[in-house]
Amino acid sequence: MSWLDRVRNALPFAAKRDTADNLWHKCRQCQQMVFVKEWEENLNVCPRCDHHDRIGAKQRFAQLFDGGLHEILPAPAAPEDPLKFRDTKKYVDRIKAARASTGDRDAWQNGFGRIDGRPVVIGVQDFAFMGGSMGVAVGEAFVAGVEQAIKRGCPYVAITAAGGARMQEGTLSLMQMPRATVALARLRRAGLPYIVLLTDPTTGGVTASYAMLGDVQISEPKALIGFAGQRVIENTIREKLPEGFQRAEYLLEHGMIDMVVHRKDLPATLGRLIAYLAPEKAA
């Protein structure tokens, strides 16, 4: 930065001008340019083609909790580089870069608040943090969220978005699958519901564990949901897969999920489900 730029930025009247980068958003689906303000007011859904863009915990909590009011629940400490892993970069450097870009400690955050006046703990997986990959920190946070739901006597809602297990943590990342399953068994013994909202994309080991264990399975429209990739499956079975395979609507038609819900309808839908599934606990 030149001395002139530094002086200009320090002046009180030298406010940053709106540019094409912060005025417009290009839809990943239809490639149309949309005003950022219009896109954000539409809950990060394209008003042209209805594409549901990926969002993180901050936006989810603001949309789902009554009035956006919530308490962020602290995540327990977890080892950051248990295997001292390195590929083209050190794993610790990848974590630092992800934290710098997202502002979060890891890919899973829990929040406590109310939906339609009923208490609920919501856990959100953020694809922006290393593809939402499931490592020890994600497993610890998930279990902590379930324990908070049990402690507070309310449902647990998991919002998933992941490319699968975190390769840099090897077998330790895969161990989070049974850990999550055991935690959910405790939630069910407590008589509390577990609701899953699958978002784009939910794949790999996450799909093979807590993402598909909900009492009710919801998905956003056209979300990619599956275990192995479509190309891998086609190469294995040597057949062409149907149109829309692994998309939410296909899974709904074939009984793998219970409903596909537009983002704007999620608070009302979740409120209704919580009232049905936990009327006494949530009263």
pLDDT over threshold 90, residue 78: yes
Compute the C-alpha angle 138/140/144, nearest 5°: 115
Please report, in angstroms and rounded to a whole number, the separation of the first and last CA atoms in the chain. Answer: 58
Question: Which strand (E) or helix (H) includes residue 91?
Answer: helix 91-102
Which pLDDT score is estimated for 22? 79
Strands 108-115 and 118-125: antiparallel
3 pLDDT band, cuts 50/70/90, is low
135-161 as b/e: b if 16+ CB within 10 A: bbbbbbbbbbbbbbbbebebbbbbbbb
Cis peptide leading into residue 74 (ω within 30°): no
User: Average pLDDT of 247-256?
Assistant: 97
Closest by CA to 223, choosing from 205, 199, 259, is 199
State yes or no: 154 annotated in a binding site: no
User: Average pLDDT of 230-238?
Assistant: 91
Tell the CATH topology of 54-277: 2-enoyl-CoA Hydratase; Chain A, domain 1 (3.90.226)
Domain boundaries, the chain: 23-51, 54-277
8 A C-beta contact, residue 176 and residue 209: yes
pLDDT by residue (tens digit) across 127-180? 999 999 999 999 999 999 999 999 999 999 999 999 999 999 999 999 999 999
pLDDT over threshold 50, residue 242: yes
Q: What is the mean pLDDT of the chain?
A: 92
8 A C-beta contact, residue 201 and residue 162: yes
Which pLDDT score is estimated for 21? 63
pTM summary value: 0.90
Question: Which of 20-24, 220-224, 240-244 is most confident?
Answer: 220-224
Which pLDDT score is estimated for 282? 40
Which pLDDT score is estimated for 227? 93
Spatial distance between the Cα atoms of 260 and 4, rounded to a whole number of angstroms: 54
State yes or no: 27 annotated in a binding site: yes
Give Rg (Cα) of the chain: 20
230 pLDDT band, cuts 50/70/90, is confident
Which pLDDT score is estimated for 152? 97
Which has the minimum average pLDDT: 14-18, 83-87, 111-115? Answer: 14-18
Which pLDDT score is estimated for 194? 98
